[in-house]
Amino acid sequence: MAFNSNQLLFKTEQLLEIIPWTERGLYRLIQECIKNKVDVREIGLYRFEGIRSDMWNPQKLVDYLIKNKLDKKVHYNHEHLEQDNIKKALVVNFNQQIQERNRI
């Protein structure tokens, strides 16, 4: 699934189809933001009263990951592994977008 310009927010399940990252990694990112007192809206996460699923802005998430995760110097193996997983997810997403554009 590629970004749909008509839709701004996506449920978590839809987001993971757009950006094929693990749900565990996503929620680890949320916990890290909460711990560091970063507003979760900076990573594109929105929670609305009356809606069960978290809603995501994929573009904000991608921008945050590039700025704060990929450009960050890593010191430990698990940080390096997480950075590799994020890179792979973003490359797959980028390739999906190119394929969508070629179909049109």
What is the DSSP code (8-state) at residue 76?
S
When pLDDT is averaged across residues 42-46 and rounded to a whole number, the result is 95
Tell me if 99 is assigned to some domain: yes
What confidence tier does 1 reach under pLDDT thresholds 50, 70, 90?
very low
Tell me if 96 is assigned to some domain: yes
Tell me if 2 is assigned to some domain: no
Q: Do 63 and 49 form a contact (C-beta atoms < 8 A)?
A: no
Tell me if 5 is assigned to some domain: no
Q: What tens digit of pLDDT does each residue of 45-99 get?
A: 999 999 888 999 998 998 998 888 777 776 777 776 777 777 777 776 666 666 6
Tell me if 4 is assigned to some domain: no
Residue 2 has pLDDT above 60, yes or no: no
Indicate the number of domains in the chain.
1
Q: Do 46 and 56 form a contact (C-beta atoms < 8 A)?
A: yes
Cα angle for residues 71, 61, 104 (degrees, 5° grid): 110
